[in-house]
Amino acid sequence: MRAIDYTRADSLEAAVEAFAAVGLDARYIAGGTTLYDLMKLGVERPVHLIDVTGIVGLDTIDTDGDVLRFGALALMSDVAYTPAVQDGYPILSESLLKAASQQLRNMATVGGNLLQRTRCPYFRNGAGSLSTVGVYPCNKRVPGSGCAAIGGLDRGHAILGVSDACIAVSPGDWPVALTAMGASVEIHGPAGTRTVPISDFYRLPGDTPHLEFDIAPAELITAITVPKAPSRSSTYHKIRDRESFAFAVASAAVVVEMEGANVRTARIALGGVATIPWRAQSAEETLRGKQLTPELALEAGRAAFRDARPGQHNAFKSDLGARVVADALMIAAERRA
Ligand SMILES: Cc1cc2nc3c(=O)[nH]c(=O)nc-3n(C[C@H](O)[C@H](O)[C@H](O)COP(=O)(O)OP(=O)(O)OC[C@H]3O[C@@H](n4cnc5c(N)ncnc54)[C@H](O)[C@@H]3O)c2cc1C
Ligand code: SF4
């Protein structure tokens, strides 16, 4: 058994100081719904946990200002059931309610959700207890060790944004909706505060799949902000292997602005198919200014997967993903006020 130190921080400064005092082997912990899992699997091996749930004001949900502002410690269920979010931004509410289970959503925070790690089974189950490489090679867990998923069981893996080093899917639903909405992430750390557009927050795997997020070890997410664009015509459409409590096989977050029967603008992001929450600009361009029909929606869906790079067992995701985009577009457009 390994001893782990625990500190409960009561302010941002105390949290950052506690982290800096320990160094790279410290971890912040919020709801703990994913970090404890990874600790039990031996993937994460912190020596010191810094509990941030006692920091006052970090769970505030503010829908009255110029932007929607969700404190990093706001619970997934609290954000999902906020009336202004449910009524005006179904894309956000649905992305949270279609994730995990009610029990998990009652514990998990919207900030922690952004930092969850891939569900690639070789990454999660391959750590072993003693060796450094583990049971399976995995460049994300042990840089330079290889990738067991490439040429292996890749049905659940990505077909967009992949590299020769990693094909792991970005698992979250909420970050996909935030990507379609053009959200930003507020971060506080030893060097002060900064704001990162969500489009820059997730890193493509490239040669360094272990570097996943634009956040330094001692930095804390403090809030997520979302522009207040008209978003009633939106949806988060998620296809999974079973109807609830499962990660996306393919999903689409869609906001459309209609002008009569025509699409003025569309914002589309994809989940379950890519290594990062994936903005599908080619699909958006296919739609602009045209009359929305099921045929055009499917054409846009196909455009989103034009550059797909499937492996052995996941080529079906191109067709499935295109149909998910098409269905999401029709659902969103029907919600016009
Ligand atoms: C069985 C199961 C099914 C799930 N299904 C889904 C699903 O379908 N869709 C989906 O999107 N998610 C799913 N999840 C993931 C779940 O949504 C996340 O576990 C949860 O959102 C993480 O939030 P948390 O507060 O518990 O994070 P924690 O576990 O506390 O932390 C997660 C990571 O973020 C760091 N961290 C936490 N808060 C901060 C902060 N404010 N600043 C900096 N670092 C921080 C921690 O150090 C850790 O690395 C599932 C999880 C489980 C266990
Ligand atoms: S896909 Fe990525 S996370 Fe999975 S085994 Fe390969 S390197 Fe590791």
Please state, rounded to an integer, the average pLDDT across all residues of the chain: 96
Nearest CA to ligand 1 atom 1: 100
- Residue range of the domain that includes 296: 234-334
Residue 206 lies in a domain: no
Residue 23 resides in a domain: yes
Inside any domain, residue 61: no
CATH code of the domain containing 38? 3.30.43.10
The DSSP bridge pattern shows strands 67-71 and 61-62 to be antiparallel
pLDDT of residue 131: 55
Measured at the alpha carbon of residue 108, what is the angle toward residues 137 and 275, in degrees to the nearest 5?
35
Ligand 1 contacts (CB < 6 A) are 27-35, 37, 52, 72, 76, 99-100, 104, 108-109, 111-113, 115-116, 172-174, 220-221, 247
- Residue 258 covered by a domain: yes
Question: Residue 133's pLDDT band (boundaries 50, 70, 90)?
Answer: low
Tell me the CATH number at 283: 3.30.390.50
Q: How far apart are the C-alpha atoms of 277 and 208, rounded to whole Å?
A: 17
204-229 pLDDT, tens digit each: 999 999 999 999 999 999 999 999 98
- Most ligand 2 atoms within 8 A of CB, residue of 116, 140, 163 to mutate: 140
Q: What is the pLDDT of residues 227-255, one digit of tens each?
A: 998 889 999 999 999 988 999 999 999 99
Tokens encoding 82: 């906020």
User: What's the number of domains the chain is made of?
Assistant: 2
Whether 13 maps to a domain, the answer reads yes
Q: Is the CB of 89 within 6 Å of ligand 2?
A: no
Say if CB 123 and CB 85 are below 8 A apart.
no
- Write down the pLDDT at residue 128: 67
Amino acid 121: pLDDT: 95
Ramachandran region, residue 161 (left: φ > 0; alpha: ψ -120 to 50; beta: rest)? left
Are 215 and 186 in contact by the 8 Å Cβ rule? The answer is no
Q: Alpha carbon of 331 to those of 201, 253, 256, 257: distances in Å? A: 28, 11, 10, 13
Closest by CA to 183, choosing from 223, 144, 145, 212, is 223
Kindly state whether residue 179 falls inside one of the protein's structural domains. Answer: no
Please work out, in degrees rounded to the nearest 5, the angle formed at the alpha carbon of residue 97 by the alpha carbons of 265 and 267.
Answer: 10
pLDDT for 126 equals 76
Residue 280 and residue 325 in contact, taking contact as beta carbons nearer than 8 Å: yes
Q: What is the per-residue DSSP string for 257-275? A: EEETTEEEEEEEEEESSBS
Residue 130 lies in a domain: no
Q: What are the φ and ψ backbone dihedral angles of 145, each rounded to 5 degrees?
A: -85, -15
Contacts of 17 (CB under 8 A, 6+ apart): none
Question: Is the CB of 275 inside a 6 Å radius of any atom of ligand 2?
Answer: no
304 falls within a domain:
yes
